[in-house]
Amino acid sequence: MNVVYGLDKVQPKSEGAAVAVGVFDGVHWGHRAIFDRLIEVARENRVPSIALTFDRHPAELLAPAMAPNYICTLDQRIELIAALGVEEIVVAEFNRELAELTPELFLRNVIRARLGAKYIVVGSNFRFGKNREGDIRYLSSVGPTLGIGVNVVPSVIIGGGPVSSTRVRALIGRGDVEDAAKLLGRYFALRGTVVPGRRMGREIGFPTANIETSPRQLVPARGVYAVESTIGKSTYKGVCNIGTRPTFGDGTETIEVHFMGFRGNIYGQTLDVVFHRRLRDEMVFESPEKLAEQIRRDLERVAETGS
């Protein structure tokens, strides 16, 4: 599997290629259906499979106030797509030049000329080009005139509605990580760096790893969650608190994880905190001792259920 950063770095394929296009944030079941079809088309026609994605959501450039937070970091997205068997991932910079391309120029100059696509695979709600003027009807009409075979993948329906990144974000945003997992096809994993904290957890007998995320990373709603992370070669279950530590009157929004059975220094390490389920709301306790008692009960629930 090859990752190319920048359209100008792509080596066009003389034999042609099958290309899937999208942001693919979350790489959920709907995206997986697109990649399954992409790989199928590539194999049937003996051409490479390419996923064209972008370094940011278009709204981050065009309408920053409306830009969504990310389910995945870019690195996570690349890892998830690669695991599905796509041969090449092209990460294009979404800039003004790309945003100003008409639908026809996007197909002609990027999809056909730059990527060498003979086949394109997209979801049923795909839109592209300046002001999102290109849609499936336009693609199906113009694509073949440019020598591009068009494959449209229907939406995947789960829980009575189509799977979408917007729907996944809404579930995670309100703390429903279990239903989000059903749409993702895996548990939601928050990637961040372990940074020094105020050591309040250590003072009550439950040392925590403080997780710092990128500014636009999606974080579940405030509360306490059953989680797990892989540290080194071992996986540790734990309890994650997202909130403001109201018992200590701190007021600072934090993401803190206590890992069961782990002792060590992991400052500066990047971890994926995998969210299994929500245990309870964040609460105010009358004393640190009462908080410690509740944490023990939370850990017991995690140990008893295995998640």
Q: What is the pLDDT along the chain (307 residues), one digit of tens a residue?
A: 899 999 999 987 778 999 999 999 999 999 999 999 999 999 999 999 999 999 999 999 999 999 999 999 999 999 999 999 999 999 999 999 999 999 999 999 999 999 999 999 999 999 999 999 999 999 999 999 999 999 999 999 999 999 999 999 999 999 999 999 999 999 999 999 999 866 555 554 577 889 999 989 999 999 999 999 999 899 999 999 998 765 555 667 889 998 988 888 889 999 999 999 999 888 776 567 777 787 888 888 888 776 6
Domains and CATH numbers, the chain: 2-162 (3.40.50.620), 187-305 (2.40.30.30)
Tokens describing residue 13:
């394929």
Listed residue (290, 289, 219, 284) closest to 257, CA to CA: 219
Listed residue (1, 188, 182) closest to 83, CA to CA: 1
Residues 197-212 have pLDDT tens digits of: 665 555 545 778 899 9
Q: Are 72 and 172 in contact (CB under 8 A)?
A: no
Instruction: Give 241-297 as a DSSP string.
Output: EEE--GGGT----EEEEEETT--S--TT-EEEEEEEEEEE-----SSHHHHHHHHHH
Residues 260-290 have pLDDT tens digits of: 888 888 899 999 999 999 998 887 765 677 7
- Identify the pLDDT of residue 200: 55
Q: How many Å apart are CA 17 and CA 116, to the nearest integer? A: 6
Cα separation values, 250 from 198, 243, 272, Å: 10, 10, 25
Beta strands in 133-219 (DSSP E): 149-153, 157-158, 161-162, 188-195, 209-212
Report the run of H or E that residue 170 belongs to, with start and end. helix 165-173
